[in-house]
């Protein structure tokens, strides 16, 4: 078997990359599609529920799929620096891929509002971390303005190469299932990822979509029809940051799921087009619902995702309850980021460690107390 060297090498003929272009890669992609075996049984739901665990990408989130494309093309175009606004994961990924490429990286993050793991990544990979006294939407505006006056290449998802890289998640789901699922659920923040999923599924079905048009200047590539159908797309937003659900921007978005704390998504129109074309919908979950399902998933299936990622499953469980998703369906949830990204959120909702003397008796006592009673 040939060694896996990342998604550009694997899907080069389905991506706008020239044959000779060197891929800046950390072997991203090829994440597992894990069937959730315990949850449907526990909740008495007759569905096939799968998690596409994107937290197992090299920097711990799906952003690496887009970043390998964006940085590869930035380097190909002669860029010496990249820039992004971020709620955390984009900055971690941009910093890592810039380090790999030997170029500079500037990240704008909302002060005090990004998870610790993500901040540590951006710092450790040597990017210039600029905390702004504002939120992600302010950062997004500043990055676009800055790119007009200083020589930096923007690697947020307004960069079409990001979306192109991220569409490969749909290819992998189809390869794993042998078909498209009935439903595909994911969190929606800046709305690039739902757009990318839909493009990937549409290309795989040989179908057109409003969101699919390649912007001018991007090279064409060969499309491959792999399946006959596309899934229904389900996009979930946190109640305190749900502009698409409400149909208007949210000025001061707030949620425990800091990754999707966004009030005015850049890919709003494309996301709405994707949802509408698929026959899907957007819905919201509260912070309590998000955290409850994050813990449920960790404790019943052994999968630790970050709060923003858990909203995909929280939304699906709610829509199953409401009867909006039918029995017998195959449902894929994208778990966008690893739980280790946000240790504070995990520790805050978990039982405190027990401290005992370093003696057998003390340890035995605890074991006896907590041993399952048969």
Contacts to ligand F0G by CB under 6 A = 61, 63, 86-90, 157, 187-193, 259-260, 306, 308-309, 336-337
- Nearer CB in complex with ligand F0G: 90/168: 90
Is 131 strand, coil or helix?
Answer: strand
Which secondary-structure segment (H or E) carries 283? strand 281-285
d(CA 57, CA 72): 17
Write down the H helix ranges in 159-232: 160-166, 168-177, 192-204
CB 65 within 8 A of CB 349: no
Token pair 């979306």: residue: 163
CB of 147 to ligand F0G, least distance (A): 16
- Nearer CB in complex with ligand F0G: 156/329: 156
What does the block give as tokens for 2?
């040939």
- Nearer CB in complex with ligand F0G: 226/314: 314
d(CA 13, CA 256): 40
CB of 346 to ligand F0G, least distance (A): 14
- Nearer CB in complex with ligand F0G: 171/282: 282
CB 192 within 8 A of CB 66: yes
What does the block give as tokens for 370?
């907590």
CB of 3 to ligand F0G, least distance (A): 28
The string over 91-112, giving b where at least 16 C-beta atoms fall within 10 Å of a residue's C-beta and e elsewhere, is bbbbbbbbbbbebbbbbbbbee
Instruction: Give the list of residues 6+ apart from residue 374 with CB closer than 8 angstroms, or none.
Output: none
- Nearer CB in complex with ligand F0G: 10/65: 65
- Nearer CB in complex with ligand F0G: 45/197: 197
Question: Given CA atoms 77, 83, 87, 93 in this order, what sign does their dihedral have?
Answer: positive
CB of 9 to ligand F0G, least distance (A): 24
CB of 289 to ligand F0G, least distance (A): 16
CB of 161 to ligand F0G, least distance (A): 14
- Nearer CB in complex with ligand F0G: 74/185: 185
d(CA 250, CA 257): 15
- Nearer CB in complex with ligand F0G: 162/230: 162
CB of 352 to ligand F0G, least distance (A): 26
CB of 266 to ligand F0G, least distance (A): 8
Instruction: Give the list of residues 6+ apart from residue 109 with CB closer than 8 angstroms, or none.
Output: 85, 86, 87, 88, 91, 119, 122, 129, 130, 131, 132, 139
CB 99 within 8 A of CB 25: no
What does the block give as tokens for 356?
């005992």
CB of 251 to ligand F0G, least distance (A): 17
What does the block give as tokens for 157?
């998802």
- Nearer CB in complex with ligand F0G: 348/354: 348
């Amino acid at each position: 078997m040939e060694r896996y060297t990342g998604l550009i090498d694997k899907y080069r003929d389905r991506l706008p990359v020239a044959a000779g272009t060197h891929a800046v890669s950390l072997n991203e992609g090829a994440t597992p599609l894990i069937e959730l075996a315990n949850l449907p049984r526990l909740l008495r739901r007759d569905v096939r529920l799968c998690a596409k665990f994107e937290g197992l990408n090299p920097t711990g989130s799906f952003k690496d799929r887009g970043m390998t494309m964006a940085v590869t093309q930035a380097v190909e175009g002669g860029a010496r620096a990249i820039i992004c606004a971020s709620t955390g994961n984009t900055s971690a990924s941009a910093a890592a891929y810039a380090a790999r490429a030997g170029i500079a990286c500037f990240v704008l993050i909302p002060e005090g509002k990004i998870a610790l793991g993500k901040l540590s990544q951006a710092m450790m990979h040597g990017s210039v971390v600029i905390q702004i006294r504002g939120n992600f939407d302010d950062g997004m505006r500043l990055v676009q303005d800055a790119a007009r006056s200083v020589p930096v290449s923007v690697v947020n998802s307004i960069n079409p190469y990001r979306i192109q890289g991220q569409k490969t998640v749909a290819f992998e789901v189809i390869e794993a299932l042998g078909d498209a699922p009935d439903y595909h659920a994911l969190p929606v923040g800046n709305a690039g990822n739902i757009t990318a999923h839909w493009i990937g599924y549409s290309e795989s079905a040989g179908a057109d979509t409003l969101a699919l048009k390649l912007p001018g200047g991007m090279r064409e590539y060969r499309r491959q029809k792999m399946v006959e159908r596309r899934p229904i797309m389900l996009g979930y937003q946190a109640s305190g940051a749900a502009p698409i659900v409400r149909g208007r921007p949210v000025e001061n978005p707030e949620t425990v799921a800091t990754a999707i704390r966004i009030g005015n998504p850049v890919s709003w129109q494309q996301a709405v087009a994707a949802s509408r074309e698929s026959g899907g919908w957007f819905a919201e979950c509260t912070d309590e619902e998000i955290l409850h399902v994050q813990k449920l998933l960790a404790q019943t299936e052994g999968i630790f995702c970050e709060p923003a990622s858990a909203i995909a499953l929280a939304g699906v469980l709610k829509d199953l309850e409401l009867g909006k998703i039918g029995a017998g369906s195959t449902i894929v949830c994208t778990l966008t980021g690893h739980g280790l990204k946000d240790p504070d959120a995990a520790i805050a909702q978990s039982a405190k460690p027990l401290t005992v003397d370093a003696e057998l008796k003390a340890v035995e006592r605890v074991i006896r107390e907590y041993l399952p009673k048969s």
